[in-house]
Amino acid sequence: MQTYGSKPTKERCLLLVEDQLDLAELVEDALADDGSKVTHADSVFEALSLLREGTFDAAILDIELGDGVVFPVADRLAELGVPFVFASAVYDQVVPARHQKARFIAKPFHIPQLQEAVSATLAQSDARRT
């Protein structure tokens, strides 16, 4: 199990869906420091395209993006069995019932909070696969 500040046993591929570029850069750097490979999308359209092209171990999703809400991406991730964390300034009550079990980190957040949520999500996913 990876914990904040420890190096994972294998590189994790994460999808970050965030339309605030400065925040996306900060999150990318922090997760890369933890040993993850982060692919960034700033729209629903781009995220869905990336999901058609590659595979991911987990995702971090902002809810409100420039081209709509992220729930179609969450739906596709769920279909693929990829766990995800919501990281958003909107209230967690807007999350549809079908995604209520996903972790929710409220913006503004501290980077260690997000790192812990991603680590816990990956650990839960690993436990289900073994």
Residue-wise pLDDT for 2-51, tens only, equals 444 444 457 899 999 999 999 999 999 999 998 999 999 999 999 999 99
pTM of the entire structure?
Answer: 0.89
Residue 33: strand, helix, or coil? helix
Domain 12-124 fold is Rossmann fold (3.40.50)
Query: What contacts 60, CB < 8 A, 6 or more positions away?
Result: 14, 15, 16, 17, 18, 27, 31, 84, 85, 87, 114, 118
pLDDT for the residue numbered 128 = 66
Tokens of 42: 């700033």
pLDDT of residue 5: 46
pLDDT tier at 92 (50, 70, 90 boundaries)? Answer: confident
Q: Where are the domains of the chain?
A: 12-124
| Order of all β-strands in the sheet with 103-106 | 36-41, 12-17, 58-61, 84-88, 103-106
> Contact at 8 Å (CB) between 105 and 73?
no
